[in-house]
Structure 1
Amino acid sequence: MLIATAAAVALALAGCSGGDVAGADKPKASANFPKGSTMAKLAEAGTMTVGTKYDQPLFGLKGLDNQPTGFDVEVAKIIAEDLGIAAEEIKFIETNTKVRDEAVMSGKADMVVATYMITEDRQTRVTFAGPYYNAGTLTMALADNDKITGVESIGDKSVKVCGATGSADLDAIKSHMADPGAQLVLFDVYSKCADALRTGQVDAIAADSTILLGLASGSKGKFKIVGESYLDQLFGIGIKKGDVEFCKFINDTLTASVKDGRFAAAWKKTAGTVVAEVPAMPEFIPCK
């Protein structure tokens, strides 16, 4: 509230020719939102709690200064900005895969932006705004390997492809292979896939783009992501179940951020350091 009031005063001073502080008594930011809405409550408080990942490079990673950085973090800041909440007033908490639903349902987080894939099961517990990003399954190869060009390349039975045991996209990956039993190499973690690719034990890694972007960013230019996605993985923003009003506000903010360039700036600052092309905003799902 203090920040919003200070901004109003500054704007008023800038537009005045004399010393009259017109506009110093502007209404609170919360007055711009429906009374009793989540938006009004958050704007009135001047702060919000956001759940994100602390271990996902380029999307949500806790830095040496104990502050999270990444694309998801920047998206959260865009939404907070349109609530009149400054970035430094956001309280970020860690929400790994296992606790994301609980953080929303319990009210520990006002929203969760944490590589949060929209699924039918999760929609029974959480309302999703967005999606804002399609993390579709992609292929990664050595930067100097021109033979691996995308999903079509893993149809060659001589191509060894690495994946992670239990990955949600394994069935989609196998469906594109000539001989999955001979081609697919599985490890418990993707860092082992990166080692296998680096040493030539496999020709490619297949995983969702957030994982591949993280691996590529740490490869010092040795890895490249190629081709088109072969399985949609839509990331949404989780909020309290049934808060349709807040969901629509977030969607409107996301739409505006594409038009005014904030969405592109968020990408270029983070994941865009590895893949320069700004992703298109996916079609939103109904708020419910």
Structure 2
Amino acid sequence: MKLRKVTAASAAVLAITLTATACGGGEKDSDSGSSGGGEKITIGIKIDQPGLGLKTPDGSYTGFDVDVATYVAKELGYDEKNIEFKETKSADRETALSRGDVDFIAATYSITDERKQKVDFAGPYLLAHQDLLIRADDDVKDGEDLNGKKLCSVTGSTSAQNVKKDFAPKAQLQQVGGYSECLAALQSGAVDALTTDDSILAGYASQEQYKGKFKLAGLKLSNENYGIGVKKGDQEMVDKINAALEKMVQDKSWDKAVQDNFGPANYQNEPAPKIGNIVQ
């Protein structure tokens, strides 16, 4: 009888121990996704923007956004081999964060009041401006010089709409499917300028096949504060990313990333912005 009581008690203790171990393991795994302690982190980027986020033929990723995202992920505790980049198109960014498809997004993601209703932002980490890409032997002094000129941008681009509405209402706007089409038209003389963010334009101008053929006009037609998008309500992640961005600036890794990705285009970048300083 005594033996049976001891066996039952031991079984009960074993059951409690196993249950506690299982619960403890589950909590650790669930916490790792937001704290940076997990084995893998998924980051949303663009994969078709040279100089910012580009997937190369060998399957690797390059660009300023990629360099920033990689630096941040390492500061969060992830080895580079455990970073998974995932294409996140502009229209899908908020959904990807809310569903948990990605842990954060670094993809020319301008911080706006409308977007802040759906996601939280760390940064900004780059202040870009709407500008024009023109042929190397051309010159544009201001937006008014565009009146009567042919502008090219991607279908639905707010940059092209802004130029036509606010800076050059008499400009001829052509909208196409991709920036590569605009570049071909610009090179052939079919259009006079390509318009979008200067950082994106610098990335294209830096490509080997375009070096010396194009230049940025240097018109600061708008302010675009690039931030890192995080799931709404994850303040812990925002704080950690902000700390990583501040360190990246302090140790000059930010300057190196700018030079590596935009240098060939002589991109006149703004100094690294201060965390939380949104330029209107």
Q: TM-score, normalised by structure 1?
A: 0.76
Number of residue pairs aligned between Structure 1 and Structure 2 = 245
In structure 2, the partner of 1:148 is: 140
Structure 2 counterparts to residues 48-87 of structure 1, below 5 A: 48-87=41-80
**How has the CA–CA distance of structure 1 residues 266 and 201 changed in structure 2, closer, same or farther, with 3 Å as cutoff?**
same
Partners in 1 of 2:236 and 2:277 — Cα distance?
12
**Partner Cα distance (2:222, 2:74) in 1:** 32
Q: Give the match for residue 116 of structure 2.
A: 123
1:199 paired residue number: 188
Structure 2: gaps (5+ residues): 1-29
1:167 alignment counterpart? 157
Deviations 1:7-36 (A, max 9, x none): xxxxxxxxxxxxxxxxxxxxxxxxxxxxx9
Q: CA deviation at 1:272?
A: 2.8
Residue 251 of structure 1: which of 233, 236, 242 is its match?
Answer: 242
Percent of pairs identical after alignment? 36
Gaps in structure 1 of 5+ consecutive residues? 1-35
Structure exhibiting the larger radius of gyration computed from Cα positions: 2
Deviation readout 1:263-288 (Å, 9 max, x if unpaired)? 1111222233323545322343389x
The 3 A distance-change label for structure 1 pair 256 and 117 is same
- Runs of 4 or more above 4 Å deviation: 36-40
What do residues 183-240 of structure 1 show as CA deviations (whole Å, max 9, x unaligned)? 2231223333323322223332222224322432342320001223111122111111
Q: Which one-letter code corresponds to 1:80 in the other structure?
A: A
TM-score, normalisation: structure 2: 0.78
Q: In angstroms, what is the RMSD of aligned CA positions? A: 2.5
* Residue identity opposite 1:75 in structure 2: V
Q: Is the 8 A contact 1:132 1:235 kept in 2?
A: yes
Distance 1:56 1:275 in 2: 17
Distance 1:278 1:165 in 2: 26
Report matched runs for 1:20-35 at 5 Å: none
Residue 275 of structure 1, aligned match among 245, 266, 271? 266
| Inter-partner Cα distance in structure 2 for 1:214 and 1:40 | 32
Conservation of the 8 A alpha-carbon contact between 1:60 and 1:70: yes
The structure with more helix, counted as a fraction of residues:
2
Moved more, 46-55 or 74-83: 46-55
